[in-house]
């Protein structure tokens, strides 16, 4: 009976192909929006759609680890499809010299912070800022070292939103605003503006961290890492390392980068954008390197490209498991041992925080 009928082989092949088609269609292909929509889109709505519909990190991470995507397998939420034409239109200039601060806090660093946490956030995400302000962003001193948390936004959608933002800035004194169009696509500009602020307004800080607005951060553990005698004070960057990641050439992907912008097939080792910590001698060096590197829309990989040019390798953390992405079950995970975890929403940021504080 060692003979397999050709009909059976065809059937098995067809089933296999349908499975592939099913997975591909439902988990990897974002809904394509027409080019005109992308160009004319109200930026606030665009940002809402992208940041709320599909959290970038969820998909990058799941995509890279080839796990099934529970959140997006069943629902087709809008995301932006950036085509080659769009990228050419938006050959944007990431170097901060092209932008200036509308809201600034030039004297903040007179407090001589040891660590500055820089949070890129969309102008309308007040709830995210407030969750951080009431949790890890409210810590001004950790293990006797001064810590500062600031938010960076781009341009708002309109005059009313701008007024609200300025009022918030007067009350909180923790907002920085630069005059680039705030969008998911422009995150590389945001990161470079963060580097600019650190280099020009806060050179005295010892360390800085770029941290996303939906993150839980355990500052005690982060401080222990930074104060460890084994942690370098210069040319140091750490977090969740990404090795040998392929550049995504699928034009329908949110992380599509054309060869025109980044010709090599793989990215250099970089630190995942959710939260990377670095010695504060790096910002001016990264800015200098960025002059020679064509910007592309994947901010963390772009920083990786700048570091490669500088000959600086990202360091693995002494305990890499402390830089967590997703926490599958926050109740059974010991958040008190971590440095980062993706909370995913303002409510969760508060919940994670209270989890840890409650157990003290
Ligand atoms: C853009 O969309 C936001 C959210 O829907 C809305 O508040 C704002 O008024 C819109 N702006 C313009 C210029 O249409
Ligand atoms: C920050 O913490 C202080 C106590 O240390 C508290 O009084 C204040 O209300 C907190 N701020 C926010 C925004 O939660
Ligand atoms: C990115 O920012 C630049 C500068 O403000 C702007 O010209 C461009 O339209 C923005 N691109 C997107 C896709 O938001």
Residue-wise pLDDT for 304-338, tens only, equals 999 999 999 999 999 999 999 998 777 777 899 99
DSSP-derived secondary structure for 278-326 = EETTHHHHHHHHHTTS---S-HHHHHHHHHHHHT-PPEEPSSGGGEEEE
Cα atoms found within 13 Å of the Cα of residue 134, Cβ hemisphere only:
13
**DSSP helix, strand, coil percent of the chain (3-state; round to 5):** 45, 20, 40
Within a domain: 24? no
Q: Give yes or no: residues 170 and 315 share one domain.
A: yes
Within a domain: 7? no
Q: Residue 139: which region, alpha, beta or left (left: phi > 0; alpha: psi -120 to 50)?
A: beta
Pull the structure tokens for residue 353.
């925080």
- Out of 93, 120, 141, pick the residue that ends a domain: 93
Q: What is the CATH number of the domain that holds 127?
A: 3.90.550.10
pLDDT above 60 (res 24): no
Q: What separation, in Å, do the N-terminal and C-terminal C-alpha atoms of the chain show? A: 67
Residue-wise pLDDT for 110-147, tens only, equals 989 999 999 999 999 999 999 999 999 999 999 999 99
Mean pLDDT of 29-37: 37
Mean pLDDT of 5-34: 62
Q: Give yes or no: residues 80 and 179 share one domain.
A: no
* Stronger pLDDT, 355 or 56, i.e. the higher one: 355
Residue-wise pLDDT for 276-314, tens only, equals 999 999 999 999 999 889 899 999 999 999 999 999 999
CA distance 281 to 106: 18
Q: What whole-number percentage of the chain has pLDDT above 70?
A: 78
Q: Give yes or no: residues 114 and 244 share one domain.
A: yes
Q: H-helix or E-strand containing 176?
A: strand 175-181
- Ligand 2 pocket: which of 135, 138, 148, 350 to mutate (most atoms <8 Å of CB)? 138
Query: What pLDDT is attached to residue 22?
Result: 58
Within a domain: 290? yes
CA distance 307 to 201: 22
Q: Give yes or no: residues 315 and 177 share one domain.
A: yes
133 CB near ligand 2 (under 6 Å):
yes
Q: Are 212 and 275 in contact (CB under 8 A)?
A: yes
Q: Give yes or no: residues 132 and 262 share one domain.
A: yes
Residues with CB under 6 A from ligand 3: 90, 92, 180-181, 183, 185-186, 189
- How remote is the CA of residue 92 from the centroid of ligand 3, in Å? 7
Within a domain: 12? no
Q: Give yes or no: residues 229 and 84 share one domain.
A: no
Q: Give yes or no: residues 129 and 244 share one domain.
A: yes
Query: What pLDDT is attached to residue 68?
Result: 27
Within a domain: 220? yes
**Mean pLDDT value across the chain:** 82
Q: How confident is the model at residue 89 (pLDDT cuts 50, 70, 90)?
A: very low
Mean pLDDT of 10-19: 78
141 CB near ligand 2 (under 6 Å):
no
User: Could you give phi then psi for residue 49, rounded to 5 degrees?
Assistant: -60, -45
Q: Give yes or no: residues 67 and 111 share one domain.
A: no
- How remote is the CA of residue 193 from the centroid of ligand 3, in Å? 14
pTM for the whole structure: 0.75
Q: Give yes or no: residues 176 and 61 share one domain.
A: no
- Out of 59, 93, 127, pick the residue that ends a domain: 93
134 CB near ligand 2 (under 6 Å):
yes
DSSP-derived secondary structure for 202-263 = -TT-SEEEEE-TTEEE-HHHHHHHHHSTTS-SSS-EEESEE-SPBPB--TTSTTB--TTT--
Q: How confident is the model at residue 31 (pLDDT cuts 50, 70, 90)?
A: very low
Q: Give yes or no: residues 184 and 280 share one domain.
A: yes
Within a domain: 17? no
Q: Give yes or no: residues 185 and 41 share one domain.
A: no
- Out of 93, 120, 142, pick the residue that ends a domain: 93
Q: How confident is the model at residue 359 (pLDDT cuts 50, 70, 90)?
A: low
Residue-wise pLDDT for 43-64, tens only, equals 434 444 443 333 333 333 323 2
In what order do the strands lie in the sheet containing 323-326? 215-217, 340-342, 323-326
Range of the domain at 117: 98-357
Within a domain: 187? yes
Mean pLDDT of 248-274: 93
Mean pLDDT of 160-169: 97
Q: Give yes or no: residues 129 and 149 share one domain.
A: yes
Ligand sitting nearest the alpha carbon of 350:
2
Within a domain: 216? yes
Return the exposure string of 58-90: e unless at least 16 CB atoms fall within 10 Å of the residue's CB, then b.
bbbbbbeeeeebeebeeeeebbbbbeeebbeeb
In the chain, the number of structural domains is: 2
* Stronger pLDDT, 24 or 63, i.e. the higher one: 24
Query: What pLDDT is attached to residue 42?
Result: 39
Query: What pLDDT is attached to residue 5?
Result: 76
């Amino acid at each position: 009976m060692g003979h397999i009928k050709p009909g059976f082989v065809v059937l098995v092949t067809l089933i296999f192909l349908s499975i592939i088609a099913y997975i591909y269609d439902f988990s990897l292909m974002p809904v394509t929006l027409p080019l005109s929509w992308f160009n004319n889109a109200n930026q606030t709505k665009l940002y809402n759609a992208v940041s709320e519909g599909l959290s970038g990190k969820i998909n990058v991470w799941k995509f890279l680890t080839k796990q099934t995507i529970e959140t997006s397998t069943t629902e087709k939420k809008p995301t932006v499809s950036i085509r080659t034409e769009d990228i050419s239109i938006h050959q944007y200039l990431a170097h901060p010299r092209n932008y200036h601060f509308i809201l600034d806090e030039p004297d903040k660093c007179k407090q001589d912070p040891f660590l500055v946490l820089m949070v890129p956030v969309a102008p309308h995400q007040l709830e995210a800022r407030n969750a951080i302000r009431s949790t890890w962003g409210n810590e001004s001193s950790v293990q006797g070292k001064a810590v500062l948390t600031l938010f960076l936004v781009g341009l708002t959608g309109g005059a009313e939103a701008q007024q609200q933002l300025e009022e918030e800035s007067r009350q909180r004194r923790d907002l920085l605003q630069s005059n680039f169009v705030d969008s998911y696509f422009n995150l590389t500009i945001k990161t470079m503006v963060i580097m600019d602020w650190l280099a020009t307004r806060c050179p005295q800080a010892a360390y800085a961290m770029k941290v996303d607005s939906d993150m839980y951060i355990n500052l005690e553990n982060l401080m222990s890492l930074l104060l460890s005698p084994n942690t370098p004070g210069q040319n140091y960057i750490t977090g969740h390392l990404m090795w040998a990641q392929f550049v995504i050439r699928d034009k329908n992907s949110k992380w599509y980068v054309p060869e025109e912008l980044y010709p090599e097939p793989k990215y250099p080792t970089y630190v995942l954008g959710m939260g990377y910590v670095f010695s504060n001698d790096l910002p001016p060096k990264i800015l200098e390197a960025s002059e020679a590197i064509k910007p592309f829309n994947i901010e963390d990989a772009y920083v990786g490209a700048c570091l490669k040019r500088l000959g600086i390798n990202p360091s693995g953390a002494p305990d890499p498991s402390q830089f967590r992405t997703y926490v599958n079950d926050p109740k059974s995970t010991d958040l008190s041992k971590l440095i980062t975890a993706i909370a995913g929403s303002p409510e969760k940021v508060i919940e994670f925080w209270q989890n840890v504080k409650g157990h003290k």
